[in-house]
Amino acid sequence: MSLNTKLDEFCRKLPKVELHAHLNGSISEATLSKLIERKLKDFPDGVELAVAQRTINKGQRRTLDECFAMFRIIHPLTDTAETIYMVTCDVIRDFAEDNVKYLELRSTPRHVPATGMTKETYVRAILKAIEDCKESMDIIVKFMLAIDMRNTLEGADETVELANKLKDCSNGVVVGVDFSGDPKAGDARSFIPVFQKAQSYGLKLALHLAEVPERNEETLEVLKLIPGRVGHGTFLLPEDGGNQELVDVMVQNKIPLELCLTSNIKGQTVAAYDNHHFKKWYDIGHPISVCTDDKGVFSTTLSEEYSILAQTFELSQEKLWDISYKSIDLIFADEKTKAYLRGVWEKERENVFKLS
Ligand SMILES: CNc1ncnc2c1ncn2[C@@H]1O[C@H](COP(=O)(O)O)[C@@H](O)[C@H]1O
Ligand SMILES: [Zn+2]
């Protein structure tokens, strides 16, 4: 993508909403280096980690499998509640510095017996970080507990119960449940009972669906739950291997799509930016939001994603503004928060356009 300073500056100043960010995938290179250094101090023989540091550096394309391999490097670095607290603060700061005004983070609670971290202390560390960042950062942060496709049904149920428990004492911070993980590793249909349970608790569902091809039946059955939002949805359209029935459910129920362009390019589920399904959904006026997915793993920022979008599809600054403003409609927080954010956007508008 060519350098376009004026556009980049506009995208940076644009107030933004980030709705699809996995905590461990969003850790910056600087924070990762900090974590690796710490580990090397504790375990001077940590040769494997020293090698890992190089593999994490800014990457070209990777296969989706290679993307998931990155998490096998990152997860051992974030294996205590203290580290989870620290990386959450760093990730929130990164987004705030990129002018993201509203962020929905998601993360898979992990139990690590060796360090004593439990699923609950994991999530509590994130919630504490969110609370502590409120004081000093101009950003609203909400949280979703993630179910990994490789989880057992019991494990997934435990996550939903934990989400429900913490929802009530989180002051509105816990808004929903995510479903993610290596899309080739499981079948979303087996989790339908836990998704329904989450809905019955008033938790919103953000589900990764149709991220890889040939999942039409599975996707259709899960879409019938009418999730609050769908992540990726790369293979829903008939021309991409999906079908009209899938599109109809999406359109009739106005199920918003979280679109992560660079993630799809680097994971090679989309061949090139200008092939991205953004264009077709955008052209029919379907609700979409632009997201980073894993800004650390994919070496991107939300501003860069807006800039790439504008350059690829020749979108004016007004159109970018509109996409960002309309994303407010898609957040999982309440109407009061939406009204507040609309006020923020209106206040910033003049300042953002003054530049260009
Ligand atoms: C690239 N496309 C993707 N598709 C599906 N799931 C993904 C993903 N990128 C990340 N994750 C999910 O997020 C976890 C890392 O963050 P947390 O440990 O939860 O904070 C990964 O292990 C995977 O389950
Ligand atoms: Zn994702």
Is the distance from the beta carbon of residue 23 to the nearest atom of ligand 1 less than 6 Å? yes
- Quickly count: other Cβ atoms within 10 Å of residue 33's Cβ: 12
Which entry of 211, 258, 304, 305 is annotated as an active-site residue? 211
User: Where along the chain do its domains lie?
Assistant: 5-354
- 22 C-alpha to center of ligand 2: Å? 6
- SS3 at position 246: helix
Q: How far apart are CA 206 and CA 97, in angstroms?
A: 25
DSSP state of 88: H
For the cut 80, the answer to whether the pLDDT of residue 5 exceeds it is yes
| Residue 325 CB neighbours (<10 A) | 17
**DSSP structural state of residue 234:** T
Can you read off the two tokens belonging to residue 31? 């924070």
Active site residue 211: yes
Distance of alpha carbon 207 from alpha carbon 121, whole angstroms = 24
CB 9 within 8 A of CB 295: no
Instruction: Check residue 176 and give its pLDDT.
Output: 98
Q: Are 242 and 236 in contact (CB under 8 A)?
A: yes
Contact 179/146 with Cβ under 8 angstroms? yes
Question: Is residue 232 lining ligand 1, measured as CB closer than 6 Å?
Answer: no
Ligand 1 lined by 26 (C-beta under 6 Å): no
Q: Where are the alpha helices (DSSP H) in the chain?
A: 5-13, 29-42, 47-56, 64-74, 81-97, 119-136, 153-167, 192-200, 216-223, 244-252, 261-266, 278-283, 302-313, 317-327, 335-354
334 alpha carbon – ligand 2 mean position (Å):
23
Residue 64: pLDDT band (50, 70, 90) is confident
> Of the residues 22, 61, 119, which should be mutated to test ligand 1's pocket, given the most ligand atoms within 8 Å of the CB?
22
For the chain, give the mean pLDDT: 93
Atom of ligand 1 nearest to the CA of 78: 18
The question of ipTM being above 0.85 is answered as yes
Give this prediction's pTM: 0.96
List pLDDT tens digits, range 295-353. Answer: 999 999 999 999 999 999 999 999 999 999 999 999 999 999 999 999 999 999 999 99
CA 110 to ligand 1 centroid distance, Å: 13
User: CA 241, CA 255: separation in Å to the nearest integer?
Assistant: 19
Residue 5 burial (CB < 10 Å; 0-12/13-18/19+)?
Answer: exposed
Ligand 2 geometric centre to CA of 337 (Å): 24
Give, for ligand 1, the residue of 66, 68, 148, 207 to mutate: max count of ligand atoms closer than 8 Å to Cβ: 68
Q: What is the mean pLDDT of residues 219-239?
A: 98
Q: pLDDT by residue (tens digit) across 70-85?
A: 898 899 999 999 999 9
Nearest to 227 by CA among 277, 176, 164: 176
Among 83, 180, 266, 294, say which to mutate for ligand 1: greatest number of ligand atoms within 8 Å of CB.
180
Burial of residue 7, with CB atoms counted within 10 A of its CB: 0-12 exposed, 13-18 middle, 19 or more buried = buried
Fold of 5-354: TIM Barrel (3.20.20)
